[in-house]
Amino acid sequence: MVHVSATPVLALRGVSKRFGAVQALTDVELEVHAGEVVALVGDNGAGKSTLVKTIAGVHPIDDGVIEWDGRAVQINKPHDAQNLGIATVYQDLALCDNIDVVGNLYLGRELRKFGILDEVEMERRSRELLSTLSIRIPSVRIPIASLSGGQRQTVAIARSMLGEPKLVILDEPTAALGVEQTAQVLDLVERLRERGHAVILISHNMADVKAVADKVAVLRLGRNNGVFDVKTTSQEEIISAITGATENAVTRRAARNAEAQK
């Protein structure tokens, strides 16, 4: 059903990031392929947001390599990430409440004809985009203020799709949503995958992760703590990787014994 390419769209190799005395990320590895949803999970302070911001160009990395389509790239500014084809939807959606859906979708990149806003073309394309993503909203000509939280989230995601990005990063897209709205957003995530986009999904909600993700990458205290295949892994295993419950007397002895044997 889902075609996964051989070369990852984005690969992080041994990425580290320090803020002063705080080592936020240590030797983090991550691979995302086209048509694949990778859930990034971890406890609070595990480094999820920092990792996403390094990819989005907000915080340049200190060590390691970021590979894009198999070749090493530098991402130092948000602009670099955008040029590569990385779109990020942050938790606070950054939409203008007083402007209608079309205006928000095209904010900062309005279509113009002879210097005048081409409202007709923008509205036509907005409708097209929203219907290919099967996004249902009352009208593209009502202010964002009239939309529900889930509808706003879908508009924000649709907005990120306008530049035809290869990789979409969604930061907690369902955090503040009700059951039905969460379902809408998860549907949308699946549609992004079907259209061949690579998706990184940050979430605290294991049910959401199990529902849409292909792989789960766990971060713990700024390090990788395992990448799991969603289908073959139980929720308990993932949660123990998040909380560090795998680390107990038995595992420590096993690790020591393994080292001693070398």
Partner 1 sequence: MTTDKTSTAVVNPEAAKGADTVVDPRLLVREQGLGGYITEFKRKMRGGDLGSIPVIIGLIIICVVFQSLNSEFLSAKNVSDIAVTMVATGMMAVGIIFVLLLGEIDLSVGSVSGVSGAVVAVLSVTHGMNEWLAILVAVLSGAVIGAIHGFFFARIGAPAFAVTLAGLLFWLGFMLQLLGDTGTINLDSDGVVGNLTTYYFSDVAAAYGLAAVAVVAYFLSAFLDTRRREAAGIPARPLVDIVVRTVALAVFAFGAAFMFNQYRGLPLALVLFLIVLVGTDFVLRRTSYGRKIFALGGSVEASRRAGINVTAIRVSVFSIAGTFAAIGGLFWASKIAAANQGSGAGDLLMNVIAAAVIGGTSLFGGRGRTWNALLGVMVIVSIQYGLALEGIATPINYMITGAVLLITVVIDSITRKTQKTAGRA
Binding site for partner 1 (CB under 8 A): 92-99, 103-104, 107-110, 112, 115-117, 120-121, 123-124, 127, 130-131, 134, 136-143, 145-148, 180
CA angle, 83 then 87 then 89, to 5°? 150
On whether the CB atoms of residues 228 and 209 are closer than 8 A, the answer is no
- For the bound state, the minimum distance from the C-beta of residue 69 to partner 1, rounded and expressed in Å, comes to 25
Nearer to partner 1, 6 or 114 (CB): 114
Nearer to partner 1, 67 or 119 (CB): 119
Task: List strand residue ranges (DSSP E) for 20-125, in order.
Answer: 22-32, 37-42, 63-68, 71-73, 86-89, 112-113, 116-117
* End-to-end Cα distance, the chain: 43
- For the bound state, the minimum distance from the C-beta of residue 96 to partner 1, rounded and expressed in Å, comes to 3
CB atoms under 10 Å from CB of 204, counted, come to 15
CA angle, 118 then 82 then 65, to 5°? 170
- For the bound state, the minimum distance from the C-beta of residue 139 to partner 1, rounded and expressed in Å, comes to 5
Nearer to partner 1, 95 or 201 (CB): 95
- For the bound state, the minimum distance from the C-beta of residue 137 to partner 1, rounded and expressed in Å, comes to 7
- Rounded CA gap, 97 and 4, in Å? 38
Nearer to partner 1, 180 or 259 (CB): 180
- In which residue are the tokens 């005048």 written? 116
Nearer to partner 1, 106 or 228 (CB): 106
- For the bound state, the minimum distance from the C-beta of residue 10 to partner 1, rounded and expressed in Å, comes to 21
- For the bound state, the minimum distance from the C-beta of residue 166 to partner 1, rounded and expressed in Å, comes to 20
On whether the CB atoms of residues 41 and 209 are closer than 8 A, the answer is yes
Nearer to partner 1, 159 or 215 (CB): 159
Torsion (CA) 97, 102, 104, 108 in degrees, nearest 10: -150
